[in-house]
Amino acid sequence: MKAVIMAGGKGTRLRPLTVHTPKPMVPLLNRPCMEYTIHLLKRHGITDIAVTLQYLPDAIRSYFGDGSRFGVSLTYFEEATPLGTAGSVKNCAEFLDDRFLVISGDTLTDIDLTEAVRFHERNGALATLILTRVETPLEFGVVMTDESGRITRFLEKPSWAEVFSDTVNTGMYVFEPEVLSYIEEDREVDFSKELFPAFLDAALPLFGHIAEGYWSDIGSLDVYRQTQADMLDGRVRVEIDAREIAPRIFLENHVRIDSSVRLEGPVYIGENVHLQAGVSVGAYSVLGSHSVICAGTRLGQSILWENSYIGQRAELTGAILGRNVSVGPCVLLGEGAVIGDRCRIGAKAVVKDGVKVWPHKEIEECANVHTSLIYGTKQSKRLFGGNGIKGLANVEITPEFVTRLAAAYAYLLKPGSKIALSACAHPFAQLLKHSVMTSLCSSGIDTIDIGISIAPVNRYAVRQFHCQGGIHIHMDESAEEKQVVIQFVDQLGLPVSRDWERKIENACWQETYVRSLHHLGYLHVEHQVQETYTRELLEQIDAALIRRRGFNLLIECEPRFLPAFLAPLFGALGVTALYGAVAEGVGRHGVDLAVRLHKNGEQFELFTDTGERLTPEQLMALQLLACRGQRRQIGLPVSAPEEMEQLARRMQVEVVRTKLSPRAMMEVSPDERFHPLFDAVFSLVCILAHLSREKQPLSQLTAQLPACHMDKTTVFCPWAWKGKVMRKMLEEHKGQQLELVDGIKVYDAHGWVLILPDTEHSHVNIISQGVTAESASTLAALFARRIAEFQSR
């Protein structure tokens, strides 16, 4: 049997370590990662191996040669242009004449490949995916199988709401040669995104083998550290090519250690390493070959590649150093610091926690380095939450951060693209907007500044000026500490897709920004967007009808911008608006209704003429009624009550059940410039028109709305347990009526329950609907208890 090792990975999330090193050549315990893959194949009797190359191919060829040194035969296939996972295997077609195995050269595993091949044979499979279970499945392909092992569903890099299992694709496959006939030549084709979904659609025999054993996809610096710790702890069955001189202390040949050196296992020390007097090497440290550690230096949980030089009395804690790095005396490298190849750190310099230094940089003596060189500080890999990027003002979201964020975004756009910018009236939000503007223009992107505004107007401007996207910044002051929210929209004015969120996150993570003096972007200031928005909004409704009714409203909103923005609109509609706090009392002002407008302009709360606040379900029902005749189709989340769907049908509006994300709901009707569920001003005006038609006060109209019995609660659930909890929940309710649009929706005779892992916090959301309020509450409590029990097993 033959195998294909996919070895074309760049390892962008491992930068700066992989700037000059392809990911399969990243060392694990002083050996390239791919070497362990070759040993695994050989252990299972597979010695005839094809290797696909793309990024820095000569580094792999020069080390492994023809494979004879490792007891195997290697044949290389290089891609002139990226062909994707499936395309790269198709590129080896001339080599593959029988059943074959595909495996990644940049993962570490001891999974039993022979048992996987037996499983494939027993089931008569065309393709078998080797699966494993992981704690956090977000960065992998989640796979669901039936009792026989046949794959029933496949989700590539799901959101938490799509995590129906903790069983994921390892990127290892057993294929019959016929698989190659389904892959087009000389075209970029991906197994997970294209080929496997096509196999599912065609009902071809696609199986999943859930394997026991260790598997690590070395996709991040944290995982890179942890993988080597696992190797030192003996958690993975691999050959460690060194002497174990004491429990979990491994030394290669010709190591020189002074008698005063202190070693705390587990540690790994490569060939020709010299540890001078008084050196202390703490647990989980790995020292590459030919490194010199000078007297009095302390190392803890640090990983050094070959030819490192560490001066006297330096201190490294949790740092990673690339090849040929020189660290001067008395240097302090903080937790998580990463130093690229051939860097020089001057004496007494301090490199703070988490700082990354790209290759060939020099840090002067006594320097205090608190930001990465040269691209900026490391940011969290997951930037986006449920509705944009959110963080503490001037702590997590700073001008420096948004400058880098905008540069990363610009890197993904074509030069000369136009981006609409806006922010709320808060001075800090405006300051951030200018930082974004400067960064975009310096990256060759044209910006259209629409000034102080709200998110719906930003979305409108994107379409009005044919922009490629938009960014809106506003302050969320609902919590004790002020937070900033940054929203990105695409060329249709819709929130960017999760795919684009990942691209932006990866660009920040990789810190690959491009700026040039040859092409700078232009700044355009547009002052008439709000007037155009208001004029088109008025064309959507019967303004004369509202004028005849003559409403008096109490409006609670931010005081600096919204009153001025609303004044022309209310003037055109003959609406008298009083601005004040709803808590002062609706009755005291004698108004027809009261509105609390959220600062972002997307959501609002409504109060009747008697002062009663509408529930979210009542408000949604009223919004649906108010858009009667304006649209043929609307997206409602799976969490919306069944009564909303029935109400829409009576109005001859088609309902499409969607995920809870704003984009999912809005893209059902992408051509609409105003969305009733995400444009508070438009929705309010439509409700005024509806009240005018019905000739009833809001309190009477509310009493006629359908009754919905809902309950919502949250259950604490660590991130590492979410995938397992969802799998157990799915297994427990197998055979019942389920809906898997977003999370797991379970139906029974008393109603339904939606179990939805939170995307931003360590808990699971539970939303239920019952025939009575009591049954809704009982359902939510029952499922909350089960989720807690799953975690205690």
Task: Please tell me the predicted confidence (pLDDT) of residue 624.
Answer: 86
pLDDT in tens, 616-632: 999 998 988 887 766 67
Q: Give the pLDDT band (50/70/90) at residue 380.
A: very low
Q: What whole-number percentage of the chain has pLDDT above 70?
A: 95
CA distances from 476 to 141, 484, 530, 598, 623 (A): 34, 6, 22, 9, 24
Task: Please tell me the predicted confidence (pLDDT) of residue 381.
Answer: 47
Lowest mean per-residue pLDDT among 10-24, 95-109, 142-156, 742-756: 142-156
CA distances from 278 to 60, 274, 448 (A): 38, 12, 61
pLDDT in tens, 245-260: 899 999 999 999 999 9
Residue 519 has pLDDT above 90, yes or no: no
* CATH code, residues 709-792: 3.30.310.50
Lowest mean per-residue pLDDT among 39-48, 274-283, 314-323, 727-736: 727-736
- Asked if 299 and 314 count as a contact pair (C-beta separation under 8 A), the reply is no
Residue 485 in tokens: 């929210």
- Asked if 760 and 386 count as a contact pair (C-beta separation under 8 A), the reply is yes
Task: Please tell me the predicted confidence (pLDDT) of residue 224.
Answer: 93
* Mean pLDDT, the chain, integer: 88
What are 654's strand-pairing partners? Answer: 633
For 2-217, which CATH superfamily applies?
Spore Coat Polysaccharide Biosynthesis Protein SpsA; Chain A (3.90.550.10)
CA distance 413 to 418: 9
- For 792: left if phi > 0, alpha if psi spans -120 to 50, otherwise beta; the answer is alpha
Q: Give the pLDDT band (50/70/90) at residue 158.
A: low
Q: Give the pLDDT band (50/70/90) at residue 214.
A: very high
Domain 242-369, CATH number (from 2.160.10.10, 1.10.510.10, 2.30.33.40, 3.40.47.10): 2.160.10.10
* Amino acid present at 39: H
CA distances from 80 to 52, 84, 330, 491 (A): 11, 12, 47, 32
- Asked if 393 and 483 count as a contact pair (C-beta separation under 8 A), the reply is yes
CA distance 674 to 456: 8
Task: Please tell me the predicted confidence (pLDDT) of residue 481.
Answer: 58
Interval 200-227 mean pLDDT = 90
pLDDT in tens, 164-202: 667 888 889 999 999 999 988 888 888 888 888 899 888
Residue 377 has pLDDT above 50, yes or no: no
Residue closest to 283 by CA, chosen among 295, 299, 259, 297: 299
DSSP character string of 129-154: EEEEE-S--TTSEEEEE-TTSBEEEE
Q: Give the pLDDT band (50/70/90) at residue 375.
A: very low
pTM reported for the whole predicted model: 0.63
Collect contacts of 313-318 with beta carbons under 8 A, ≥24 apart. Answer: 318/225
Interval 692-707 mean pLDDT = 88
Task: Please tell me the predicted confidence (pLDDT) of residue 466.
Answer: 95
* Bridge-based pairing state of the strands 576-579 and 523-525: unpaired
Alpha helices in 217-297 (DSSP H): 221-232
Query: The domain at 392-480+497-527 falls in which architecture?
Result: 3-Layer(aba) Sandwich (3.40)
Task: Please tell me the predicted confidence (pLDDT) of residue 750.
Answer: 84
What is the domain partition of the chain in residue ranges? 2-217, 242-369, 392-480+497-527, 535-703, 709-792
CA 669, 672, 678, 683: dihedral to nearest 10 degrees? Answer: -120
Q: What whole-number percentage of the chain has pLDDT above 90?
A: 51
DSSP character string of 182-195: GS-TTS---IIIII
Interval 208-225 mean pLDDT = 89
